[in-house]
Amino acid sequence: MSKPVTLPNLAGMTRPELQTALVASGAVTPDKARMRTAQIWRWVHSFGVTDFAAMTDIGKETRAALAERFTLARPEITSRQESVDGVIKWLIRFAPGVEVETVFIPDVAGSGALCVSSQVGCTLNCSFCHTGTQGLVRNLTAAEIVAQVQIARDDLGEWIAPSAERRLSNIVFMGMGEPLYNLDNVAAALDIISDNEGIAISRRRVTVSTSGVVPELRGLGERTGAMLAISLHATRDELRDQLVPINRRYPIAELMAGIRAYPGLSNAKRVTFEYVMLKGVNDTPADAKALVRLIAGIPAKINLIPFNPWPGSSFECSDRATIDAFATILKRAGYASPVRKPRGRDILAACGQLKSESEKLRASARRRLAPAETA
């Protein structure tokens, strides 16, 4: 398409934004605003169309007026890799130097989860996480979060599939970035993704993972109704301070109090505790028992994540036997199948391996700027 990229994109707007934009542009008169919004919404979010010409229940003139003023184009896919185990990873470029990774993880039962990013990079620097080494480039907009889901639906060819047949059934905010540092956009994206006349992925099938931004937990629950996952990784402040440095600001006791107060928490809506298995760091039977004690009374699932190495990482993954022993203690305490199978490791698509080229671009941009600055 040869359209200038500056046209506003309708594909990632919330319903109220869409209606306002249509009327403000003059392409739609106020008396038709509601109807046109509903029509366009369905085409974009139920059928995934990216061309106004496909909107056959809208008159030709209006379609032409829309096409002059707006775009529905997807962002650019810089690369697409498919792993031997069926994991698909897309590198998506929203603007020069603004790239994220999105990963589809098919499940054995036919369903599957899309792991989306909420930021380009991350301000936090958890010592075992590749994204954390990148620094923050910027928050993603709601439209950019939604675009990741749209790209996956395009690729999987699932726009008009009956929901029972769709492989993309769940969404996890476990890609790049800390979603609770970008809650406004995460919440707006969820409004769009969960809309029943659109992508229609229920809020109960969306999990937001946080490193523990305690003051935002309540807002997350109230505004999104999403399932909560907490990157715990240690049960003592002394160790968690090292692994997840945000712990220095919101220590474990505060975090636990925030989790207990999470809106809607119940046996049907449990919090997931993520715990990365780091050899010789947090993986002893005593650590497992401490974990069980710490979360006692909270409706919870536990996800043990074998550490996924990345170039330059200083940790090692715990041995299989150590992970099994740890898991056995959790199982005895009533937590079912707690070990997460690493997926997509061969394409660096597993948890904590994501890191875009954005930093390199920024570094080269910095180098280009440097002579001018010092001149």
Q: Which residues are catalytic?
A: 101, 351
Does 282 engage in binding with ligand SAH (CB under 6 A)? no
- Please report, in angstroms and rounded to a whole number, the separation of the first and last CA atoms in the chain: 41
Among 65, 126, 192, 256, binds ligand SF4 (CB under 6 A): 126
At 131 the three-state DSSP class reads: helix
Closest to ligand SF4 by CB, 279 or 331: 279
Find the helix packing angle between 183-194 and 142-156, rounded to 10°.
40
Does 174 engage in binding with ligand SAH (CB under 6 A)? yes
Stated as kind and residue range, the H or E segment containing 305 is strand 300-306
Closest to ligand SAH by CB, 14 or 210: 210
DSSP string of 258-300, one letter each residue: HHHT-TT-BTTBPEEEEEEEBTTTS-SHHHHHHHHHHTTTS-E
Among 43, 70, 90, 128, binds ligand SAH (CB under 6 A): 128
Does 273 engage in binding with ligand SAH (CB under 6 A)? no
Q: Which does 308 bind (CB under 5 to 8 A by kind): ligand SAH, ligand SF4, none?
A: ligand SAH
Name residue 333's amino acid. A
Closest to ligand SF4 by CB, 14 or 210: 210
Query: What are 342's two structure tokens?
Result: 């690493």
Identify the burial level of 370 via C-beta atoms within 10 angstroms of its C-beta, where 0-12 means exposed, 13-18 middle and 19 or more buried.
Answer: exposed
Name residue 190's amino acid. L
Work out how close the CB of 351 gets to ligand SAH at its nearest, in angstroms, rounded to a whole number.
Answer: 4
Closest to ligand SAH by CB, 97 or 121: 121
Give the C-alpha separation, 288 to 326, whole Å. 6
Does 274 engage in binding with ligand SAH (CB under 6 A)? yes
Closest to ligand SF4 by CB, 12 or 121: 121
Residue 181 DSSP one-character state: G
Q: Which does 189 bind (CB under 5 to 8 A by kind): ligand SF4, ligand SAH, none?
A: none
Among 22, 129, 152, 304, binds ligand SAH (CB under 6 A): 129
Distances (CA, A) of 327 to 33, 156, 298, 323, 332: 56, 34, 18, 6, 9
Give the C-alpha separation, 172 to 71, whole Å. 28
Query: What are 45's two structure tokens?
Result: 């979010």
Does 353 engage in binding with ligand SF4 (CB under 6 A)? no
**Near ligand SAH by CB under 6 A, which window of 15-23, 69-77, 209-217, 250-258?**
209-217
Does 129 engage in binding with ligand SF4 (CB under 6 A)? yes
Residue 161 DSSP one-character state: S
Does 103 engage in binding with ligand SAH (CB under 6 A)? no
Does 132 engage in binding with ligand SF4 (CB under 6 A)? yes
Does 178 engage in binding with ligand SF4 (CB under 6 A)? yes
Does 122 engage in binding with ligand SF4 (CB under 6 A)? yes
Cα torsion 233, 238, 239, 240: sign: positive
Q: Name the residues that contact ligand SAH, by CB under 6 A.
A: 126, 128-129, 174, 177-178, 209-211, 231, 274, 276, 305, 307-308, 351-353
Q: Name the residues that contact ligand SF4, by CB under 6 A.
A: 122, 124-126, 129, 131-132, 177-178, 211, 231
